[in-house]
Amino acid sequence: MYINLSGLNILVTGASKGIGKAIASKLAEAGATIAVHYNKNMREAENLAQVLGNESRAFQADLSLPDEAANLFDRVILEMGSIEILINNAGVAMPSDINAKESDWMNIWNTTLQVNLTSAGVLCKKAVEHFLKRNAAGRIINITSRAAHRGDTAEYMAYAASKAGLSALTKTIARAYGKQGIKAFSIAPGFVRTDMAKGIMEKYGTEHATGDIALERLTEPKDLAPMVTFLASGMADHATGSTIDINAGSYTH
């Protein structure tokens, strides 16, 4: 199957490494121009944008800060002219023991929801406004998690809650704006071999990540990228509002 995304500008958050990098690379292979968002990995992001080609560019934003998401979207529009597809991939998973000092627990809760849900929500709002203003079709693909549906361990309550919120947001956008040409999808991974999962596996052991999967190996970033590219192509638009599980059979709806 040939997918041609030439002429499309796609904002991928958290694109300097891991899942975001794999997604950005696959989209660029199909001809898209990528707005490579990063927080701290400037060199990696700028190098990636250069490798991707198609006039791709790197954009910095700290999504743990309230105004950064909106400013990021505006900068991308200013420099690239338009965004046809938004992919909310950036996220944090910060453990917090239930017996932790309440202020410390709340700090992690607030930071997690700010990055994973509030900033993603702001970017979704900006994208919907942008699509409607241009009277043009647009797509939003949100990377959620199996934790949004089955829950997580106790110390990752904030992570599970944030991803559940993002899942509900995705469904709402799909229901509310489909007739205006806006489609929204969720991709729900389980454990993926990334830096984020590395800390969890170091604490709980590799068996914690691989013990309940149905396949022979842990999911890798490259396993998510083809599905994101397929959704970006428009060939699955009637799946708008859907959650697609990519978790090696460890959880299914």
Mean of pLDDT values over 244-253: 82
Mean of pLDDT values over 117-134: 98
Q: What is the CA radius of gyration of the chain?
A: 17
Mean pLDDT score across all residues of the chain: 94
Q: Within a domain: residue 118?
A: yes
Q: Any idea what the CATH number is for the domain that residue 85 is in?
A: 3.40.50.720
Q: Which residues contact 126 (CB under 8 A, 6 or more apart)?
A: 69, 70, 73, 74
3-class DSSP state of 246? strand
From 2, 38, 156, 159, the catalytic residue: 159
Could you tell me how many residues make up the chain? 253
Mean of pLDDT values over 41-47: 97
Q: What is the pLDDT of residue 55?
A: 98
Q: Within a domain: residue 194?
A: no
Cβ(14)–Cβ(91) under 8 Å?
yes
Distances (CA, A) of 111 to 5, 63, 126, 201: 34, 9, 21, 22
Distances (CA, A) of 99 to 96, 102, 108, 161: 8, 8, 13, 18
Q: Within a domain: residue 195?
A: no
Examine the pLDDT at 20 and tell me if it is beyond 90: yes
d(CA 53, CA 6): 12
Confidence of residue 1 (pLDDT cuts 50, 70, 90): confident
Q: Within a domain: residue 197?
A: no
Nearest to 242 by CA among 226, 231, 250, 234: 231
Q: Within a domain: residue 25?
A: yes
Chain centre distance of CA 200: 19
Distances (CA, A) of 197 to 74, 141, 209: 31, 21, 9
Confidence of residue 249 (pLDDT cuts 50, 70, 90): confident
For the record, the structure tokens of 113 come out as 């929801």
d(CA 205, CA 143): 25
Q: What angle do CA 109, 149, 104 make, to 5 degrees?
A: 10
Q: Which residues contact 65 (CB under 8 A, 6 or more apart)?
A: 114
Residue 159 catalytic?
A: yes
d(CA 160, CA 181): 30
What is the DSSP code (8-state) at residue 92?
-
Q: Within a domain: residue 135?
A: yes
Backbone angles phi and psi of 141, in degrees to 5: -125, 115
What is the percentage of the chain residues whose pLDDT exceeds 90? 85
Q: What is the DSSP string of 11-56?
A: EETT-SSHHHHHHHHHHHHTT-EEEEEESS-HHHHHHHHHHH-TT-
User: Domains in the chain: how many in total?
Assistant: 1
Q: Which domain holds residue 104?
A: 9-187+220-246
Examine the pLDDT at 203 and tell me if it is beyond 70: no
Confidence of residue 215 (pLDDT cuts 50, 70, 90): confident
Using N-to-C axis directions, what is the helix angle for 102-113 and 157-177, rounded to 10°? 30
* Tens-place pLDDT, residues 137-169: 999 999 999 999 999 999 999 999 999 999 999
Q: Within a domain: residue 236?
A: yes
Q: What is the pLDDT of residue 212?
A: 78
* Tens-place pLDDT, residues 160-202: 999 999 999 999 999 999 999 999 999 999 878 776 666 666 6
Q: Within a domain: residue 206?
A: no
d(CA 195, CA 199): 7
